[in-house]
A and B are shown apart, each in its own frame.
Chain A
């Protein structure tokens, strides 16, 4: 599949890769440059491969409380909230953002790889509620504009008023109705725009003209990993519950969501393993699947690993034995047979200098 901006990516000379069935740009001029543009100025990502689901009806709140891990009742109109979508056993089907567009109207943004699974899950559990669940993925192109200058550049170029962090606002983009969301996946300030696919190309061109640096999925991954945002498929899966993934903060078991009992049990009893960020002490770049060693035995596995452009060394997150997740703990990462000394760190790995 291709996003409405596929031609633009090719014209800019992007390296295109398959991602969850989508032909997506991984980089244009280089991951480090793009990464640095977002940390210091402003970059934009075509994330139109992500899915959107609309939930509407008198039973919307009750339905969402049942399927999402967070307390949806806390979300005001125009508000945003992060949640897990859990199985009965607490396994994480997806992690997603919820936006409240109206009294009983919500929009959910899904991960591209999980959109179909999420929809089927919503459909199955929606039957018990007075609610309509619609796949509206084709209605939106999605642009994430991120970086310290994102708001200034965006509001100047598109002449729109942007919502503050963790809020959503209806706006006009390219004279078409659109949604501006004060959310992102980079650890920088910024906005995610849900726009009409027909105006995606001219808006992309306008933002390029305004000096916004096009960024691919490569930089998106290094940026999110430096601030320890989990990626479903790597750091989250149906084999792991939110507690071991460090997402207990977005689970409110008293709402009775599917999986609440398992999550409560994990929270009370602890988990054998936990997700923890780490930094390589010297040379070497950790990769997904590398074993983590301590005292000569395997104590965990790397779920995400990369070279961190901001810290200029190997960095990642790993699931490891819960007694070893204290920041400062020394471990080794087995990178293709070479044991690379590493140290457990605290979140986030990268912190903005103020």
Chain B
């Protein structure tokens, strides 16, 4: 998507990652700002299903033609699904970062971590500062 966009229903990590909380699971991805800074994503290197991710620690890599970027977990848990479609179509991360460009689904081990994350307004403020 061409215009900056930060949906209200997501929680944000200051390293430009988002989580959509659905019960005891969270879907992770990178924000519009992150994909715009990186440029066209040409490769997504996902973690394995069953592996654990830790809040504030890198769990995957996304690469553009010129650069590689670590993807930081906004919350801790166990990976229950990865977005397999991105293998053939990593450009979804640019085109639809909050939809078809989701990266992993995680069973959250510490749901209370959500409280420390930013809401959309706070994240926008961070980007403006």
Contact = CB atoms under 8 A, between A and B. Distances in A.
A31 B40 contact: yes
B39 interface: yes
B7 to A, nearest CB: 24
A284 interface: yes
B60 to A, nearest CB: 12
Sort chain A's interface into a size bin.
Answer: 10 to 19
Contacts of B61: 336
A95 B43 CA distance: 33
Q: In the complex, which of the residues B39, B42, B61, B87 has the most CB atoms of chain A within 10 Å of its own CB atom? A: B42
Contacts of B39: 15, 27, 30-31, 218
B96 interface: no
A31 B66 contact: yes
A287 B42 CA distance: 14
A32 B43 contact: no
B68 interface: yes
A285 B40 contact: no
A198 B11 CA distance: 51
A303 interface: no
Interface string B42-72: 1101000000000000000101111010000
Nearest to A30: B40
A306 interface: yes
A271 B39 CA distance: 39
A307 B45 contact: no
Contacts of B42: 32, 285, 307
Interface in A13-43: 15, 26-27, 30-32
B43 A284 contact: yes
B43 A26 contact: no
B85 to A, nearest CB: 15
Nearest to B40: A30
Nearest to B70: A336
B43 A306 contact: no
B77 to A, nearest CB: 23
B65 A307 contact: yes
5 contacts: A15-B39, A26-B66, A218-B65, A307-B64, A307-B65
Given A221-B66, A284-B43, 10 more contacts: A31-B40, A32-B42, A32-B65, A218-B65, A284-B45, A285-B42, A285-B63, A307-B43, A307-B63, A336-B61
Interface of A: 15, 26-27, 30-32, 218, 221-222, 283-285, 287, 306-307, 309, 336, 338
